[in-house]
Structure 1
Amino acid sequence: MIPDRADSARAGHLSRRAADEHDDASFPAVPEQNFQVRRITLIALLVAAIVLPFAYVAAMAFTDLRAREADATNMTLRTVRVAEEHALKVFDMNETLDSRIVDLTAGLDDNGVRAREATIHDKLRTMGGGYPQVAAVSIFGHDGALLASSRYYPSPQLSIGTRDDFVGIRDGNDLEHVSKVMTGHVAGEQVFNMGIARKAVDGSFAGVVSIALRPSYFDAFYRELLGGNDSTPMIMSLVRTDGAVLAHYPRGPHEPAAIAADSPFAAAVAEGRRAGVVRMRSNFTGDNLIVAFRHVGSYPVYVLCGYRTSAIWTAWYRHLSVLILSMFTPSIALWCVIWLSLRRLGAEEEAWERWQAEASMRRSIESAYRQSRKMEALGTLVGSVAHDFNNLLMILSANVQIVRRRGVGGLERELSAMERALKSGQSLTRQLLGVARKQPLRTETLSLEHWLPSSRELLHASLGAKVSLVIDSGVNTWPVRVDVAELELALINIAVNARDAMANGGRFTVRASNVVFRHEDGFPLTGDFVQVSLEDTGAGMAPEVLARAFEPLFTTKPKGAGTGLGLPQVFAFCESSGGLAAIDSAIGAGTSVRLYLPRATSEPQTAGPAEALAPESDAPQGLRVLLVEDNAEVAAGTEALLQMMGHQVTCVFNADMALRLLDDARAKRASTGEALPYDLVLSDIHMPGKLNGIDLAEAVLAFDTQLPVILVTGYAEELDRARHVNVRVLSKPFDIGLLEKLLETIQHNLAQTGADPQTHAADT
């Protein structure tokens, strides 16, 4: 490789530098250790200039945050103590009021209370009317029926016999002496009730005396306690021991009725704590809170005061920003000075590193280019060799068929050996073309639900005796259109890799399932696919190996034990089938290879009963075939086979000559009205001359009088173009039986349409 000018300039610079260093050797030089000491000193100074301000700011920020949290905690403790005293006074007053009403109705049964309802109503209104927190005072009978109320006279017909607080007081449940918040039956507004039981003369349950308290009264008190500002960072709540909220400030549009049962406050109540501080997330506001709580006397009620930690953090951020600004403004100037000194000191080292990086990059690019050229040359070489090898196989296959059709006796063993060799040669050619991405696929519609179980023996042979095999072919798995031989080869390649990864045995699982990919899934495929998952319990792959798993010729196996062609064949097969291959693996977690194969639009063909042959006298006449093949021996063998099938064959050796014959026949037909002398064009694709088989097919299909065309090839790229021409394509070496069936179809079509080629052109 000739160096470019930049390389020459660098080489000259380095040589001049070496000469300068040699010339300067006689002069005293700065000791290397002093240079290093200055570098270390500058770095140490820079580290100190960075670390010390950061350490100071971090210490100050930590101290300030803890101080703010302590202040918030003290504020909540002071506030909750005031709220507890207020709640205790209210509840004590209500309990005294309940006791006075019980004394008022002492000795009276339900009928007695109803008989004195007017007097009792006046007294109840007098007792409860002077308290803003009281919404209503009511007396209920032993069955929950309303007997008297401070709100109404006469009392309406209503009952609280099924309400939780009535049932709880009747059954001796202390919690229900303070009810949950509800719309009061008597008060007609949002209230919670404090009630006590009335006793009959004999000591039995005679009913309930209930005082309905307004939660809004407590809300207003909490608002004043917190300074009358709705934007306060604090919240206040009055809750029962079971977490049910009785009053809360500030209120939101959508608030839960209870504190979460798994909150730290609920845990503290369950432990029996009467006071304390917890940190929790509020299910009212969604904020994190510092919550102080206190139990209200002997009542099943707690008062809570919470401080939003977001407010603490907001104030802390403001203080921190001021601290950072004042601390780091002068520090940045010092950092810049030290950094510039280090930059100048390391300029030469940086230039050397850039040169090394450039040289390394050049080596990498050249290596990648050589690898690309090598793979391109490999593909071209393999394609050319395989094409010629396919022609040899085609000659052998045609002559074996000729011998069989002539019924030569005593050669069955030799012919069978030749046919086995043909199959092995075909398999070898397909492997070579698969690696070079030039393999023509022989696709057919396949039901994996039925095919996968039948491949058990094939996989067992690849996995060995130490590995157990599990096959789950799924239920109602969609059919796929694939090359069965390529699919078998892909499974074998993956199974062999799995066996090598499970030297001490393991499990290999094959699963098939339907998947649908949409645009929004972010997957490179869209549509209906069948996923074939092949999973092993082996050692797995390291990330760097996994990244190159599908790379051709890459292998981690010892020399001579692997070719690096297995997984690339799997990837090429899936892409050629219109799908994708993916692989997941991790050290110690095994490997999973997933094949995504597109869903087939047609159902798999099942073998049906053989159709009865038509009488010999009604058999269609042989076809007039124009055979275009450049290889004389392939042409001779194919021509002999076609003649043995009863067809007339005209053989030419390139597409240019074939097109001239067809043009002459068309001109003669236009002048004399005679039909074309050919019923079918059977042509190879890869031939010498200006035109190839695909060009010939395009020209023939453009005729006003069309002819059916069958193309033969061994190149995958030619197959892709041929499919767009919409003709039948056979891959070399093709099955003679398949060709015979195609010709029989054309014969029958000719017989049914009166031997008019125009009517059967598209049937193949």
Structure 2
Amino acid sequence: MTPDRFEPPPASRLAASRQDEALFPAVPEQNFHVRRITLIALLIAAIVLPCVYVAAMAISDLRARDADATDMTLRTVRVAEEHALKVFDMNETLDARIVDLTQGLDDDGIRAREAAIHEKLRVMGGGYPQVAAVSIFGRDGALLASSRYLPAPAISVGEREDFIGIRDGKDLEHVSKVMTGHVAGEQVFNMGVERLGADGSFAGVVSVALRPSYFDAFYRELLGGSGSSNGTPMTMSLVRADGSILAHYPRAPREPNAMAPRTPFAEALAQGRRAGVVRMHSNVDGEDLILAFRHVGSYPVYVVCGYRASAIWAAWYRHLGVLILSMFTPSIALWCVIWLSLRRLGAEQEAWERWQAEASMRRSIESAYRQSRKMEALGTLVGSVAHDFNNLLMILSANVQIARRRGVTGLDRELSAMERALKSGQSLTRQLLGVARKQPLRNETLSLERWLPACRELLRASLGAKVSLVIDIGVEIWPMRVDVAELELALINVAVNARDAMPNGGRFTVRATNIHFRHEEGFPLTGDFVQLSLEDTGAGMAPEVLARAFEPLFTTKPKGMGTGLGLPQVFAFCERSGGLAAIDSAVGAGTSVRLYLPRATAEPEVDGPPDSGSEESGAPSGLRILLVEDNEEVAAGTEALLQMMGHQVTCVFNADTALRLFDDAHARRARTGEPLPFDLVLSDIHMPGTLNGIDLAEAVLAFDTKLPVILVTGYAEELDRARHVDVRVLSKPFDIGLLEELLQTIQRDLTQTGADPAAHTAE
């Protein structure tokens, strides 16, 4: 069958067109030019303003990063200066103590007392991690005593620059260059002072060998680096006044021994500046640096801290990329929107007549969507009331069942009346939850050609004797994916409304056709749908009544004749099924309710013969049930009823408490091998606390000893999540007999698996 195109009913087309003319007035011709100029101006502004903003922010960010890097180098170099000053002051003090130790002794006197002097040197220098060796050299540079060796080896430093410099009075050589020490046997630089004889002449040198690795380790800790050149954006150096490098972090292979001459730093040293900041290319790190330096006390040594310009640029580029992405992503979207608007503006005038023809359909759909928003707000309230009402029905149902099971005499009539009221209440809460979109759907594939004729008698009973029923089913109607019970209820609700609109009789027609919606038609649905039209020849609705037809609890019927939930249930059912419901009516022209239900992708299953189940054996003994229910009245009634069925019941009021019971039980089981105290968990889903019933079920199933779990709720969204957990689910309000059958099934399963609950009743 060829799918039909959507056409609004002729009875409402004229009124819809007039209303849409008021809603969508024609755009005057001259307005198109003004709108085009406005869009072009917006496009230019949308391009220029983000570019200006990004450029200004990028420049400001680069300056801020540069200032932060400079400030960080200044703060870091101050810390390094204080550290170096303490180390050099301590070494100077150590040198002075050694000079005092050898006061009045010539070279032969020192050699004569070498053992005692060696021990004192070892004690004085051994407590400092930066000190590699303490040595005393004679007038000619020969080693007289050392903290490292006894006796001192035959070593002379008479030709070494630092010895010659100290002998000749050069202050620079009081701190030597880095070398492999003759005494220390490792990379060191020496801090020495001259030793004078009794006549005040040069008698030798006292030297303390310092480890550059000590300073490297301190700089690594100060900068927070990982030891690699990529670990930190900063570098630290200890440099002599002539540019010789004493210590440097991070180390690089084949790095030079001195800073390059003719650099801003070398010029600052030549000028005698004690502190400052320069920018230069470092021959040591091979990068451009922001270099801060400070003179260490009165010593010919500087501490230098550098911040890599590449790190500043890399961070700036990352921030600039984020800025560009955050600014230009919406800007590009805005440009595209404006460009598309310019393109569409040229075709808007030509398409106006086509829009006018579709105005009736737009009015109908807009009304449906406005109604959907109203129903969302009212549905929340209705769903909350229905949920509480379900709990009241559960209390009443449980207590009626208790009275029945206790064999109360003389109250059969009253109990029957209460059971009838319970069924009416359950029907009402089903409608309320359906309107609130909290009634779970049980969708299945349905063949309308086979199902609709079977509903003929049900519809006749709903319409009454005065109204004739006409069923017009098209050829090869597509199967639908719907909840059959909800569809049946929707047809009954519309039929009852049609009967009340035709008190003197009339005709009620049910038509089914295939329909395909295309995106360009402006309909909110796209794809294949089955259109189910329900039309009556009644009095119709006034416009103000039609506007509120799908509104929950709205009714024009006399008090006690209607609940205002019929048409809202129809609307909610269609929407939750993935379709839509629309209504057209005019006073004196009847009413047409159209249900658009989605086409099923699979063919409906053919009903087969019922399975012949095996005969049930005698029910085993009762189960040990953990009942989790926050409503005390519901919990009390359910607990009493379960106990009357022969089960042992432990009741808690939230999932948090229940989970603690299971944690304690599993802990005891791990210690003593004691079996779990429960065979089954029966829990509500919606409860106060940090956990709900589904969370509890997932936690229970996560234990190694999985217990069967039954969850109870009335909310569709909770049922959808619960179906993904391996548990049994009952929707409120449920039949007590159904629960009893379910418990018997669980008992039999436990018996077959060897976990007979009867084994626990004697414990």
Tell me if TM exceeds 0.5. no
With the length of structure 1 as denominator, give the TM-score of the two structures. Answer: 0.43
With the length of structure 2 as denominator, give the TM-score of the two structures. Answer: 0.43
Higher relative contact order (CA 8 A, sep 6+): 2
